[in-house]
Each structure stands twice: as structure tokens, then as C-alpha cells.
């Protein structure tokens, strides 16, 4: 029996060795599969994090560009308001110049053309002497109004309509076109 025992023992040992070898092979395959899955997951997470970082960087860059653009627009707006205020100041300073009488008469003539038949002309009290002769020649009553600063107001017969023609109002009406030209000159 000893031979039979040896044979059986060898067969059992061979079977055990085969089972162990198969188990080790399966374990290695499982470990390799787990390692491959872990590497794939790691690579996927790295790509996802890189994509998120890139997207966040783009968003931050876009936000910075938007803020810069808004700041530039606001600064340009402030500059244009300063230009507007300076032009208005100079127009109003023109009312103190000796040549303003001729300008005032031209404004009054334009207003008269716009109203047709007028009964009176209103000016700032400081400018009444500049327009007195003109009003008399046109047969218009000359009246004063503190609210009129750099122009005239002609009142139609019957007093139901009027036309106002002032330098500051003309600036307001033409500001869009003027500001576009000024912006072009400043920032071309």
C-alpha cells in the first residue's frame, strides 16, 4: 500500500499544486484587473480635474475680461461726462463775451423762423440789453426770465406755443453725434 499511498499522495499533491497555481493565477489576474481599473479611475479623475481646472480658469479669465471691459466703459463714460461738462461750461461762459449779442440775435432769428408769428421774446435779465434793439425792430415785447441762461424763448401770438433756442439745449440735442466724434478723437 505504500506505493498506492505514494501515488495518491503525489496525485493529491499535484492536484493541490494545480489548484494553488490556478488560485495564484486568478489572484494575479484579479490584482492586475484591480490595478488597471484603479489606474483608469485615477486617469479619469485626473482628466476630470484638469477639465474642471481649465473651465474654472476660463470662467475666471472671462470674468476678468468682463470686469476690465466694464471698467473701461465706466472710465470712458466719466471722461465723456467731463467733456460734456466742459463744453457746457464754455458755452455758458460764451454768454459773458462781447460777441454773445450777435449769437443771441441769430438764436432769436432761428426761433422766430420756427414759430412764425411771435408776440414776445424772453431772455435772461443779463442779456436784455443785447436783444432790445432786435426785439424792437421785430415788433416784439422783450421780457426777462432767469431760467433762460444762454439763449432765447419766443412766444407765439396768443401765448399758447413757444420756441426756445439756447446753446445748452442745442448741445443736448446734438450730444449723441458730438460725443461719438469726441470718443473717436479720444480713443480712435
Q: Which residues of the chain have pLDDT under 70?
A: 1
Tell me the C-alpha distance between 174 and 159, whole Å. 28
How much is the pLDDT for 155? 95
How much is the pLDDT for 1? 59
> Where is the domain boundary, 94, 116, 132?
94
In angstroms, what is the C-alpha Rg of the chain? 46
Q: Are residues 20 and 89 in the same domain?
A: yes
Inter-residue contact 107 to 95 (CB < 8 Å): no
Q: Are residues 133 and 156 in the same domain?
A: yes
Task: Provide the grid cell at 19.
Answer: 489548484
> Where is the domain boundary, 94, 125, 143?
94
Q: Are residues 117 and 130 in the same domain?
A: yes
Inter-residue contact 90 to 144 (CB < 8 Å): no
* pTM value surpassing 0.75: no
Q: Are residues 145 and 56 in the same domain?
A: no
Q: Are residues 181 and 119 in the same domain?
A: yes
Q: Are residues 63 and 110 in the same domain?
A: no
- What φ, ψ does residue 171 adopt, rounded to 5°? -60, -45
Inter-residue contact 131 to 104 (CB < 8 Å): yes
Instruction: Please state the domain count of the chain.
Output: 2
In Å, how far from its chain's centre is CA 145? 40
Task: Provide the grid cell at 100.
Answer: 454773445
Q: Are residues 70 and 123 in the same domain?
A: no
- 173: helix, coil or strand? helix
How much is the pLDDT for 109? 95
Q: Are residues 120 and 78 in the same domain?
A: no
> Where is the domain boundary, 43, 67, 94?
94
Tell me the C-alpha distance between 105 and 151, whole Å. 9
Q: Are residues 105 and 90 in the same domain?
A: no
Q: Are residues 2 and 85 in the same domain?
A: yes
How much is the pLDDT for 138? 93
The DSSP bridge partners found for residue 153 are: 122, 164
Tell me the C-alpha distance between 56 and 127, whole Å. 65
Q: Are residues 172 and 117 in the same domain?
A: yes
Domain extent, residue 69, equals: 1-94
CA terminus-to-terminus distance, the chain = 112
Amino acid at each position: 500500500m505504500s506505493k498506492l499511498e505514494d501515488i495518491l499522495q503525489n496525485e493529491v499533491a499535484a492536484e493541490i499544486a494545480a489548484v494553488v497555481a490556478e488560485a495564484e493565477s486568478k489572484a494575479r489576474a484579479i490584482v492586475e484587473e484591480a490595478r488597471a481599473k484603479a489606474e483608469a479611475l485615477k486617469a479619469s479623475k485626473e482628466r476630470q480635474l484638469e477639465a474642471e481646472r481649465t473651465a474654472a480658469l476660463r470662467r475666471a479669465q472671462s470674468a476678468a475680461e468682463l470686469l476690465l471691459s466694464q471698467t473701461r466703459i465706466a472710465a470712458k463714460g466719466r471722461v465723456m461726462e467731463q467733456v460734456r461738462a466742459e463744453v457746457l461750461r464754455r458755452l455758458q461762459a460764451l454768454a459773458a463775451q462781447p460777441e454773445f449779442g450777435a449769437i443771441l440775435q441769430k438764436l432769436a432769428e432761428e426761433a422766430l423762423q420756427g414759430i412764425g408769428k411771435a408776440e414776445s421774446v424772453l431772455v435772461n435779465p443779463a442779456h436784455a440789453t443785447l436783444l432790445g434793439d432786435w426785439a424792437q425792430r421785430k415788433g416784439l415785447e422783450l421780457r426777462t426770465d432767469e431760467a433762460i441762461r444762454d439763449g432765447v424763448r419766443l412766444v407765439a401770438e396768443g401765448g399758447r406755443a413757444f420756441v426756445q433756442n439756447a446753446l445748452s439745449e442745442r448741445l443736448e440735442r446734438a450730444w449723441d453725434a458730438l460725443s461719438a466724434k469726441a470718443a473717436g478723437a479720444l480713443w480712435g
